[in-house]
Amino acid sequence: MTDSTPDLTLYTIGARVTLRPAVLDPQGQAILRGLHALNFPTVEDVQAGKYFRLSVRAANLNEAMATASDACERLLANLVIERFILTPEGAT
Amino acid sequence: MKWAVIAFPGTNCDEDTRYLLAERLGQSARVIWHQETRVGDADLVVLPGGFAHGDYLRCGAIARFSPVMDAVREHAERGRTVLGICNGMQILTEAGLLPGVLLRNQSLEYRCHWTHLRVHAPDRAFLGHTPAGAVLRMPISHGEGRYQCAPQEAEAMLANGQVLLRYCDERGAVNQAGDPNGATAGIAGLRNARGNVFGLMPHPERACDPLLGGEDGLVIFRSLIEAMHE
């Protein structure tokens, strides 16, 4: 047997990690000031965050999402101050 | 006393700390690489300053998974002393050994200067006989030192003696002028509820010699040595 995971699919999951609304985001505020200086007066708020693209091999999308969620909870986000949103972005 | 100073890839204050302990205070101190799985027979563990694992992801987030951290956690669970300085404090919060988290400075600037610290609560083990209200001078050197926790948690820790040091002005007033990073309640250093794990963002090991501008940091190391002898 050359492939030990023949029935598994490679799912791409996007994970967006942002600060919780109550947490001051000086980086986002600095970017907002920069946009205002560049004459983007209609931009009212900016939140800076992190984006991770996870390639997860799993039997189905639910399983891949569960793995990504676990990864966010245990490492990619610090839930004391951050929250995360997962988005399926494709499968191969 | 036997001290273990933990070094991760990117730690840069391990040798300063070892020098202080061994050469200046006559302690048995050795640097332990993060791949080791024991801290040996150390009485005290120090997580020194630096940029463990390049501060990737979040400060301290990757260091938490270094092999030596299981031994550090076990050391703490046995009630033994752990001291986290700067990056060491960031690692302790990420590892859940101290509450809260350290965030980017409000100013977005890397701050490297002397600060004044007000002793908020006396603590025999970490501050010896230094009374509440005393003002200590120690330097900071951090870009991510803004201590953050829920307001009610901060209130509880201010009341129960877990908050040991708060940023203040030179007269000892806790205010915005003395706060270099925008920390919740000006918190610069706190210990766990059990009282054996202490983390602080200022660098006491850089304030242990008049040549370096001050000696107020010595109180922490001397108190720990005295406490261990009792």
Which pLDDT belongs to residue B229? 83
Counting one residue from chain A and one from chain B, the pairs whose CB atoms sit within 8 A come to 30
A30 close to B (CB below 8 A) = yes
Residue B22 has pLDDT above 50, yes or no: yes
Could you tell me the residue range of the domain that residue A17 belongs to? 9-23+51-91
**Predicted confidence (pLDDT) per residue in B129-149, tens digit:** 999 999 999 999 999 999 999
* Maximum alpha-carbon separation in chain A: 61
Q: Is B43 within 8 Å of B1 (Cβ atoms)?
A: yes
Name the residue among A24, A26, A78 with its Cβ closest to that of B58: A78
Number of domains in chain A: 1
- Nearest Cα of chain A lies from the Cα of B106 at a distance, in angstroms, of 6
Looking up residue A69, the CATH number of its domain turns out to be: 3.30.1280.10
In a domain, A19, yes or no: yes
Helix (H, G, I), strand (E, B) or coil at B159: helix
* Average pLDDT for B24-34: 97
Q: With a cut of 0.90, is the ipTM above it?
A: no
Q: Is B97 within 8 Å of B194 (Cβ atoms)?
A: no
Name the residue among A27, A78, A80 with its Cβ closest to that of B108: A27
**DSSP string covering A35-80, please?**
HHHTT-TT------EEEEEEEEEESSHHHHHHHHHHHIIIII--TT
Show residues of chain A in contact with B94, CB under 8 Å.
78
In a domain, A81, yes or no: yes
In a domain, A36, yes or no: no
A79 close to B (CB below 8 A) = no
Which residues of B are catalytically annotated? Answer: 86, 203, 205
Mean pLDDT of chain B: 96
**Predicted confidence (pLDDT) per residue in A1-40, tens digit:** 445 566 899 999 999 999 998 898 999 999 999 999 999 9
Show residues of chain A in contact with B96, CB under 8 Å.
none
Q: Which residue of A has its CA nearest to B105?
A: A26
Name the residue among A23, A75, A76 with its Cβ closest to that of B148: A23
Show residues of chain B in contact with A76, CB under 8 Å.
57
Which pLDDT belongs to residue A1? 45
Percentage of chain B modeled with pLDDT above 70: 100
Name the residue among B57, B61, B106 with its Cβ closest to that of A24: B106
Show residues of chain A in contact with B56, CB under 8 Å.
none
Element holding B17 (H helix, E strand) = helix B14-19
Show residues of chain A in contact with B103, CB under 8 Å.
23-24, 81
Q: Quick one: which of A7, A60, A86, A25 has its CA closest to B104?
A: A25
In a domain, A67, yes or no: yes
Domains and CATH numbers, chain B: 2-229 (3.40.50.880)
In a domain, A4, yes or no: no
- Nearest Cα of chain B lies from the Cα of A54 at a distance, in angstroms, of 15
Mean pLDDT of chain A: 93
The structure tokens listed for A85 are 């949103």
Element holding B156 (H helix, E strand) = helix B151-159
- Nearest Cα of chain B lies from the Cα of A3 at a distance, in angstroms, of 31
Question: What are the beta bridge partners of residue B103?
Answer: B146
**Local confidence band at A66 (pLDDT 50, 70, 90 cut-offs):** very high
In a domain, A13, yes or no: yes
**Local confidence band at A85 (pLDDT 50, 70, 90 cut-offs):** very high
Which pLDDT belongs to residue A3? 54
Which pLDDT belongs to residue A6? 65
Interacting residues of A12 by C-beta distance below 8 A, sequence separation 6+: A53, A54, A55, A56, A88, A89, A90, A91, A92
Residue B43 has pLDDT above 50, yes or no: yes
In a domain, A40, yes or no: no
B111 close to A (CB below 8 A) = no
**Predicted confidence (pLDDT) per residue in B177-215, tens digit:** 999 999 999 999 999 999 999 999 999 999 999 999 999
Degrees (nearest 5) of the Cα angle B75, B76, B82?
A: 95
Q: Which residue of B has its CA nearest to A52?
A: B57
Output the CA torsion B109→B114→B119→B120 (10° steps). -20
**Local confidence band at B40 (pLDDT 50, 70, 90 cut-offs):** confident
In a domain, A45, yes or no: no
Residue B78 has pLDDT above 70, yes or no: yes
Strand B101-103 vs strand B146-148: parallel, antiparallel, or unpaired? Answer: antiparallel
- Nearest Cα of chain A lies from the Cα of B8 at a distance, in angstroms, of 18
Degrees (nearest 5) of the Cα angle B142, B29, B161?
A: 55
Cβ <8 Å between B108 and A24: no
**Predicted confidence (pLDDT) per residue in A72-81, tens digit:** 999 999 999 9
